[in-house]
Structure 1
Amino acid sequence: MPRTPQKQSTPTVLGKRTLNALNIPTPPQSPAKVRTLRSASKDLPAKVAFAEKDMKEKPERVPTPPATPSKRKLRSEYDCRPNRADKLCDVTNDILSTHSTPSSETTPRTPITPSTPSIYTGAKALFQRGSGSPGMLLCRDAEREALKLFFCSHVSTPAAGSLYVSGPPGTGKSALMAEVLNDVKEKFGNAVKVANINCMTVRKPSLVFCSIFQELVGEELLESSAGEKSVTEVLEQYFTKSRTKQSCIVILDEMDYLITKDQEILYQVFEWTRLKNSNLLLVGIANALNLTSRFLPKLKARNFVPEILRFTPYTAEQIAKVICARLEAYSSTVDDDVDCKDRACSLIHPAAIQLCARKTAANTGDLRKAFDICKRGLDLAEEDARRKFAPQSDIACQENRSPILTPSTSLSRNSTAFIIPRDAVPPIVTISHIAKICSTAFGGSTVQRVHSLNLQQKAVLCALVVGEKRKASSLTIRELYEHYGALCAKDKLLDSLKASEFREVISALEVCGVINLSAEGRNCSSGGKSSNGDSRRISAAVQAIDLLRAVEDVGMLKRFFSTSA
């Protein structure tokens, strides 16, 4: 039978590699690819030319075209070897990717760091709660002289005595007391020992004796190691039978937290000042004007009434004077590298200062509330400056962030870097800023104030109300943060905030007047001051029924109350 001749393969059925091996020209590429390669070849570095030269000097071995039955074997052997065009294409792609898309190392971006100072940074720090006064406390000259007279007359004798300091919140009682105590320590040196206790930080009233002993002696005396009566006996002996002639000054701030059913604790500490040879100087501080006459009637029956010093609320003129003094103090410390000193003193418009002072004096007279309003006004002014001088790309990123999960409505906490030119006028706090803040802080009902909060602020407030109901007492900031995190983790519908963001939410809630926060103090169980003020006690200033009415349309927050039931 005649053998059928084998059909020869044509080049058209061969692959691109075989066509290159046979030196058969390939069809041209698309115009777009040709333009891309031409434009890329203009910017190729010298190593591309070196690669071409190297491939010309050492040409690859071209295998025999696969035209025999061993075609499959030769094709597989040929495919596993890299082609010269592939080598050149890989080098080209690497170089083009390096030059077309600059990395973060070759093109540094504008730093967005919280450490970038601005003209508003130092001013806001001066109006921050707990920042302290840059100098002497203003508008409290009569009270300062009365305190100095009380301490100096009793320490120089020496003799025991008691003083009750009363006044509304934010009138400078604790701040002036700390200032006068520093002067007394400098004047008398080792002749006095001071124990400054914030009763709000004590877990229960009976532990105040342990705190007093620890502050005076420097040793921890726990109630569990000795009975309550033995603790009071140790302190009584310390006050009456002390070998040295040191005067013991005991300051009980927030003294009304020691009130019990029989008032035994308050009677005990006041009775120590009436003992023979006692060296105790007791100073109680509280908001109630009639605490001694209302809760301690036996003292009057025994013909023993402590001296009383009352602090009156700040007037509008006094509040305006204190705010202007702080701005002047800040302008004297401003460095020329940060901004011009004359700008710092005019960050708040004089009319805005007067509006803030009058609004605060008409409502509470609380100087801390006026500071909160000024700080919030500086936040708004800084936001205006950021929108004016910051790069537009950074502003767009800030505006695209969801406002629901941000603890504060201002953009200052995001710390977008911006620089105010020296010839430009920075935005200042105006009347409209202060009016907007005061309408939230003072105006409207409790439900309206809660409605103005964002989601995270409402969540923290709900966690506080639920925690107080469960514990039947006020919480510390640390306990509230743990309770808030547990509630968020249980539902998994709301991400919990970081510790720093949580503290900013606490400050915002205090500005809105929906929580009450104690001053910094010692805790008997911890034996020292807590960092970041986490041992401060916090209590809600809204009723649970009002809060439920305000968050009735937010299902995840209503579940906070249902899970605690």
Structure 2
Amino acid sequence: MPCIAVNSNPQKRKLRSHVVASEASIPSPCKRKLPRRCNNASLLTSPTENDVISIPCGHKQAESDNVAAKLERDYKDDEQLRAVKEKLHVSTEPSRIACREDEKNMVLEFCEACVEQEKAGSLYICGCPGTGKSLTMERVKGLLLNWATEFTSLKWWFGGGELSLTLPYVWLILADELDYLITKDRAVLHDLFMLTTLPFSRFILIGVANAIDLADRFLPRLASLNCKPFVVTFRAYSKDQILRILQERLSELPYSVFQPQALELCARKVAAACGDMRKALCICRSAVEMLEAEIRESTSNSNTSLEEKASSELKTAITSVYMMKHEFDTVRIDHMALSLSKTYRSPVVDTIQSLPLYQQIVLCSSMKHFCGTKKDTILGELYKSYTSICKSSQIQPAGFLEFSDMCRVLNDQGLIKLGQSREDKLKRVTLKVDEADITFALQGIRFFQNCLQ
């Protein structure tokens, strides 16, 4: 046994020295592995033993550097999108108030005239929600405070204490959301406006509310006492005004996130619907969140694919991801359209999407049956259309009794109108919802993609 061990050791040393001395002799497993490592490393020179060990380490270092750079880009993207959402938040006060210069000047001139003449007065600011009333008044309050330093007779009162009417001051009272002071006998609101009619009164009352006819409806006695407040109306924002406000908010950032067409689409839709600037800001924020989710999903998918790729394909994959992020890191029209559809979609769409599949098929068959000039039909004819759609989709249609029950459910929900008849097959059926709402509600379901074409 010791002799066998002694004889085996020299034989191994002899084989190794023989391989090193003559490369053209018997190929060893190490000889076959070296070129394969060299090809993966894209090296032209012949590798040594040290090269074989250092190549994987170089790959790991390059891969870790790429991952670190990619994580840094993702961190910057998250910070940029977070800054955009903060700029578009309704609580973020812009650096300047756009498209409300005329209304702001009217309020300023009214207050300055009352202070200079030392007389009382009342002003009522009204307008639809989201038209900049409260924001403009906050800015007017600051401007008046700076202007009043030249007039020591101006004092502000925001509540929380008793008023000293004997002091020779001009008191400016700002009452936002004035309609919350409407009581059953309307005494609080009436007494508040009557402060400006008292002898030697030095009150300037500015009330802000949404109702345009609040003074006429709830304070009819003010007109008879010749103390009806001066009214300043904030009209709904137009398309150009909404687009200008959005652009001014985003211009404070050193990078661009929205496509110009996406912002114009949002401005047109909001101006046509209500002109509410707060709603436009919420829609834009929702579109940014969709872009953020899309980037996060593409990044996770690219990370998964990069782990499965070989080292020779690593640079190409990272380059494609980098180009994709720089090309598509903007809110596009499809993002904005989806955000608008979620905001302004009809409640009928939610009702249709919550229906079971068979009831949705009945509604879809009704829409296809009434396509054109036909306004109503009998239940028997509608059942034929229903069965044809089911057979074309290779599903088993329900029986006529079950079909009649589903039509009664749709009638109770106000989607169709089912007439009266002794026989169910002769009942008249009329579609009560718009075909566009049915198409919009069902277009995202794979089953109805062929039926809606």
Relative to the length of structure 1, the TM-score reads: 0.44
- For structure 1, the residue ranges without an aligned partner over 5 or more in a row are 1-108, 197-211, 218-233, 332-343, 396-418, 453-565
**Cα deviation per residue 1:5-38 (whole Å; 9 max; x = unaligned)?**
xxxxxxxxxxxxxxxxxxxxxxxxxxxxxxxxxx
Residue in 2 that maps onto 1:388? 298
Change in Cα spacing, 1:154 to 1:355, as seen in structure 2 (3 Å) is: same
Distance 2:170 2:236 in 1: 32
Specify which structure has the higher proportion of helix.
2
Residue in 2 that maps onto 1:172? 132
The yes-or-no answer on 1:241 pairing with 2:166 is yes
- Asked if 2 retains the 8 angstrom alpha-carbon contact of 1:441 and 1:449, the reply is no
Distance 1:129 1:394 in 2: 38
- Asked if 2 retains the 8 angstrom alpha-carbon contact of 1:241 and 1:277, the reply is no
Distance 1:253 1:300 in 2: 22
Distance 2:75 2:119 in 1: 53
**Cα deviation per residue 1:225-263 (whole Å; 9 max; x = unaligned)?**
xxxxxxxxx54xx2x311xx4322111111111111211
Residue in 2 that maps onto 1:328? 251
Residue in 2 that maps onto 1:41? none
Distance 1:386 1:165 in 2: 45
**Cα deviation per residue 1:208-238 (whole Å; 9 max; x = unaligned)?**
xxxx2x1xx4xxxxxxxxxxxxxxxx54xx2
Distance 1:179 1:451 in 2: 45
Distance 2:335 2:286 in 1: 9
Which one of 74, 82, 88 corresponds to residue 127 of structure 1? Answer: 88
Residue in 2 that maps onto 1:225? none
Distance 1:450 1:284 in 2: 44
- For structure 2, the residue ranges without an aligned partner over 5 or more in a row are 1-67, 306-320, 355-453
- Please tell me the residue identity of whatever aligns with 1:290: D
Distance 1:423 1:381 in 2: 11
**Cα deviation per residue 1:362-420 (whole Å; 9 max; x = unaligned)?**
1110000000011111111122222334585699xxxxxxxxxxxxxxxxxxxxxxx97
The yes-or-no answer on 1:363 pairing with 2:273 is yes
Secondary structure at the counterpart of residue 424 of structure 1: helix
Change in Cα spacing, 1:441 to 1:154, as seen in structure 2 (3 Å) is: same
Secondary structure at the counterpart of residue 329 of structure 1: coil
The yes-or-no answer on 1:161 pairing with 2:121 is yes
Change in Cα spacing, 1:330 to 1:301, as seen in structure 2 (3 Å) is: same
Residue in 1 that maps onto 2:339? 437
**Cα deviation per residue 1:484-537 (whole Å; 9 max; x = unaligned)?**
xxxxxxxxxxxxxxxxxxxxxxxxxxxxxxxxxxxxxxxxxxxxxxxxxxxxxx
Number of residue pairs matched by the alignment: 270
Secondary structure at the counterpart of residue 118 of structure 1: helix
Residue in 2 that maps onto 1:58? none
Distance 1:434 1:254 in 2: 32
Change in Cα spacing, 1:313 to 1:160, as seen in structure 2 (3 Å) is: same
Residue in 1 that maps onto 2:191? 268
- Please tell me the residue identity of whatever aligns with 2:156: V
Residue pairs, 1:350-499, within 5 angstroms: 350-389=260-299, 424-445=326-347, 448=350
Distance 2:124 2:343 in 1: 31
> 1:428 Cα shift?
0.9
Distance 1:428 1:165 in 2: 38
Distance 2:110 2:119 in 1: 11
Residue pairs, 1:29-44, within 5 angstroms: none
> 1:421 Cα shift?
8.4
Residue in 2 that maps onto 1:63? none
> 1:423 Cα shift?
8.9
> 1:115 Cα shift?
10
- Asked if 2 retains the 8 angstrom alpha-carbon contact of 1:389 and 1:420, the reply is no
Cα RMSD (Å) of the superposition? 3.2
Residue in 2 that maps onto 1:308? 231
Distance 1:241 1:450 in 2: 66
**Cα deviation per residue 1:142-182 (whole Å; 9 max; x = unaligned)?**
10110110111112232211000000000000000100110
Residue pairs, 1:333-352, within 5 angstroms: 344-345=255-256, 347-352=257-262
- Asked if 2 retains the 8 angstrom alpha-carbon contact of 1:384 and 1:427, the reply is no
> 1:191 Cα shift?
4.2
Residue pairs, 1:203-242, within 5 angstroms: 212=159, 214=160, 217=161, 235=163, 238=164, 240-242=165-167
Change in Cα spacing, 1:358 to 1:423, as seen in structure 2 (3 Å) is: closer
Residue in 2 that maps onto 1:504? none
- Please tell me the residue identity of whatever aligns with 1:193: K
Change in Cα spacing, 1:264 to 1:314, as seen in structure 2 (3 Å) is: same
Distance 1:246 1:115 in 2: 54
Residue in 1 that maps onto 2:154? 192
Residue in 1 that maps onto 2:397? none
Which one of 91, 98, 114 corresponds to residue 138 of structure 1? Answer: 98
Distance 1:287 1:119 in 2: 36
The yes-or-no answer on 1:252 pairing with 2:175 is yes
Secondary structure at the counterpart of residue 429 of structure 1: coil
Secondary structure at the counterpart of residue 144 of structure 1: helix
Secondary structure at the counterpart of residue 284 of structure 1: strand
**Cα deviation per residue 1:411-467 (whole Å; 9 max; x = unaligned)?**
xxxxxxxx9789934521111111111111112127729979xxxxxxxxxxxxxxx
Distance 2:269 2:93 in 1: 23
Residue in 1 that maps onto 2:12? none
Distance 1:394 1:158 in 2: 74
Distance 1:307 1:180 in 2: 17
